[in-house]
Amino acid sequence: MPKIVDHEKRKIKIAEATWKVIVDEGIENATVRKIAQACGLSVGALRHYFSSQTELLHFSMGLVSERVIERLKRRKISKDQISLEFLMEGVSEVLPINEERKREMEVWLAFSAKVLVDTKLRELSNKVYKDMHQGFENVVQALKLLNIIKDELDLDLEVNRLHAIVDGMAIHHLLNPEQFTHDKMIETLKYHLQSLCK
């Protein structure tokens, strides 16, 4: 009896192998041949799933975004359970606070550099940016809903600032983990969110 292959699982396995190659060797070395080797497939078998490197990278990067969104969806609670701590934990979902999230962030940063020269990947990058920005807007709106945000703040600018701070902290931690430690990252996030409150 022929072996039944779960094609979606196979695509995810290929995407995860792509992440590993990107983290270990850099996105410039994430060739179809190396990725096929990393997941134990022939180049022909890999091309059955992804006809080009761009298509493979697009799927791999989309999977990073999907996993972050899934983690955030699992955190949903009722309005009366929302607290500053809950919001802080939500923002932490996009920070490199453990090995899984660190790998996701490393892959995403490498992908972001590729977007600068591959316009076919830009649409996904723009979508993920908008999704992230909406998430940060939700955090600021939740502070308003809790009636703890300072009255004089420009909420649109605060969303922009929170987004920029989180991106900056993630990059600082990835590039300088000994100086900008996990604890400093969390302390900085807490300090910033508390600075928005009355």
Single-letter code of the amino acid located at 18: T
Give 34-92 pLDDT, tens digit per residue.
Answer: 999 999 999 998 998 998 888 888 899 889 888 888 887 787 666 666 888 989 999 99
Q: What are the residue boundaries of the structural domains of the chain, listed by start?
A: 7-195
What pTM does this model have?
0.84
- pLDDT tier for residue 13 given thresholds of 50, 70 and 90: very high
For residues 196 and 149, the answer to whether their CB atoms sit within 8 Å is yes
Give 138-150 pLDDT, tens digit per residue.
Answer: 999 999 998 999 9
Single-letter code of the amino acid located at 177: P
Give 92-139 pLDDT, tens digit per residue.
Answer: 989 999 998 998 898 888 888 888 888 888 888 999 899 999 999 999
Single-letter code of the amino acid located at 167: D
What span, in angstroms and rounded, lies between the C-alpha atoms of 46 and 33?
A: 9
CATH of domain 7-195: 1.10.357.10
pLDDT at residue 1 tops 90? no
- Minimal CA–CA distance to 35: which of 107, 100, 25? 25
